Amino acid sequence: MHLHDLTIKKFNQGLVNKEFTALEMVQQLYKFIEKEDKKINSYLSLDKEAAYLQAEAADLAIAKGKGVGPLTGVPLAIKDNILIADQPATAASKMLENYTATYDATVIRKLRNEGAVFLGKTNMDEFAMGSSTENSAFGNTKNPHDPKLVPGGSSGGSAAAVAAHLAVASLGSDTGGSIRQPADFCQVVALKPTYGAVSRYGLIAMASSLDQIGPITKNVEDAATLFQAISGHDEKDATSSEVIYGDELSNHKIEKLKKMVIGLPKEYFDKGVDKEIIKKVKKVVKDLESLGIKFKEISLPHTKYAISCYYIIMPAEVSANLARFDGIRYSPLEGVKAKNLADLYLKNRSKGFGKEVKRRIMLGTFVLSSGYYDAYYAKAQKVRSLIKQDFDQAFKDVDVILTPVSPTKPFKFKEKTKDPLSMYMTDVLTVPANLAGLPALSMPPGFQLIGQHWREADILNIGHYYEHVQNSG
């Protein structure tokens, strides 16, 4: 089986039919990574020894007749802000360049229990702050479809690895669109779960009320499989939910889907979105309409405030979460001479943090400071409530909402780095789902499906239905 054909399901079938062993496929993938990743730089580190042991354990379990689970032996790429014990966790920052994780994130523990294999850690924007993976301290990741273009961010390495067939699937994190936008740019599938559906324990925090770990895959079915494995309550994360996802995630009842109504928010199709993108998304709408699914125009009036709201709340949480990184704990910086402790902190953070991270820390500290908290942060939280209320109201009339993922097509390197505001605007269509804590599925050719809280099944099933019809037609 060629690596380009490998999905989670096909990998599983290959193991069951004894077409290959997990170890053989992992070895083949590493050879392919060694050859191809020089071109795109999707991985920051590889741990072949650990991966070979995991693959051998999967093969041994199969030989002993223990059965083949859906993720047994499946080779995955993991974003470098998700902890894997005894592996580097740099968050693409010089501040953590020499840090090695001492424990597994909950999602990693769950995947270990499923028999998955971890190929390595993927490149990203530093501390997940960016939309192009240009903010990595360890070099840019290139878009596999055109190396002159960015892969999106901040999970650019995870999306590029899947698109370039350097992993069967991957995990990323999504704070304001950080798995959906790179998946869109790299033409693969990504699911941002409902806030609380997946434990954040072991994820290096950026903005704790917005962060969610999610899968990036080659198709919707794989996204459902990976999400099923990592979801669920975790006593180590107080924000994780007791909601249990059952067979509904992969129970594709066409008649049920045809009874659904999908909302089209007019605010997401305005003149700020590239005409070619709107044309593609409208073609998706027509295709779904021809399959019997109904559509209704809706309004989410506070959408226009979402990006401003996000870029107040997120930096405020960044300011608090990154205070622990002082260049002394975790990964001490070398060669820094200081007069006293305060001077040491100043020099370490100046040396260890990149430009964008410093910008967001300063913005966050400002909006939380005395005299500005009520004017900015408190007001942004009120606007966040209004944005959530917009969605609540809309979901009284529709089951799912369909929108473009990004207002622009993949752009060239350095095209937006000189103007941070233009870079921030690439998140304008994805941040509302994070602010409202809603699940959202991104898939080619550039659309996202936003569902109601805990209703990942709705968006996954519509996505699977669309994908199936497109592939068969």
Q: Check residue 321 and give its pLDDT.
A: 97
Our separate counts of H helices and E strands in the chain read 16, 11
> Which stretches does DSSP call E strand in 330-471?
400-404, 440-443, 447-450
Q: Check residue 249 and give its pLDDT.
A: 81
Catalytic positions: 79, 154, 178
C-beta atoms surrounding 347 within 10 Å: 17
DSSP output for 308-342: HHHHHHHHHHHHHHGGG--SSSSSPPSS---SSHH
- 404 DSSP assignment: E
Confirm whether pTM is higher than 0.95: yes
Q: Phi/psi of residue 245, each to 5°? A: -95, 130
What is the rounded distance in angstroms from the CA atom of residue 216 to the CA atom of residue 159? Answer: 6
- How do the pLDDT tens digits run along the chain, 473 residues long? 678 889 999 999 999 999 999 999 999 999 999 999 999 999 999 999 999 999 999 999 999 988 899 999 999 999 999 999 999 999 999 999 999 999 999 999 999 999 999 999 999 999 999 999 999 999 999 999 999 999 999 999 999 999 999 999 999 999 999 999 999 999 999 999 999 999 999 999 999 999 999 999 999 999 999 999 999 999 999 999 999 888 778 776 777 888 899 999 999 998 799 999 999 999 999 999 998 899 999 999 999 999 999 999 999 999 999 999 999 999 899 889 999 999 999 999 999 999 999 999 999 999 999 889 999 999 999 999 999 999 999 999 999 999 999 999 999 999 999 999 999 999 999 999 999 999 999 999 999 999 999 999 999 999 999 998 888 76
Q: Are 406 and 185 in contact (CB under 8 A)?
A: yes
C-beta atoms surrounding 65 within 10 Å: 6
Q: Which two tokens stand for residue 59?
A: 């093969």
User: How many alpha carbons lie under 13 Å from residue 61 in its C-beta half-sphere?
Assistant: 21
Q: Are 357 and 93 in contact (CB under 8 A)?
A: yes
What is the rounded distance in angstroms from the CA atom of residue 376 to the CA atom of residue 312? Answer: 7
Q: Check residue 473 and give its pLDDT.
A: 64
Q: Phi/psi of residue 231, each to 5°? A: -80, 165
> Which stretches does DSSP call E strand in 80-209?
117-122, 169-174, 189-192
User: How many alpha carbons lie under 13 Å from residue 296 in its C-beta half-sphere?
Assistant: 15
Question: Which residue segments constitute the domains of the chain, with CATH numbers given?
Answer: 3-249 (3.90.1300.10)
What is the rounded distance in angstroms from the CA atom of residue 420 to the CA atom of residue 32? Answer: 36
What is the rounded distance in angstroms from the CA atom of residue 188 to the CA atom of residue 203? Answer: 23
Which H/E stretch holds residue 223? Answer: helix 220-230
Q: Check residue 258 and give its pLDDT.
A: 85
Q: Which two tokens stand for residue 174?
A: 């999504």
